[in-house]
Amino acid sequence: MIDTTVDVINKLGLHARASGKLIEVTTKFKSKIQIGKGEKLVDAKNILSLLMLGAGKGTTLRLVIDGPDEEKALSEVLALFAAKFYEAD
Residues with a known catalytic role: 15
Radius of gyration for the chain, computed over Cα atoms and rounded to the nearest angstrom = 12
Query: Of 25, 46, 24, whose CA–CA distance to 36 is shortest?
Result: 46
Query: What does the DSSP assignment read for 5-37?
Result: EEE--STT-S-HHHHHHHHHHHTT-SSEEEEEE
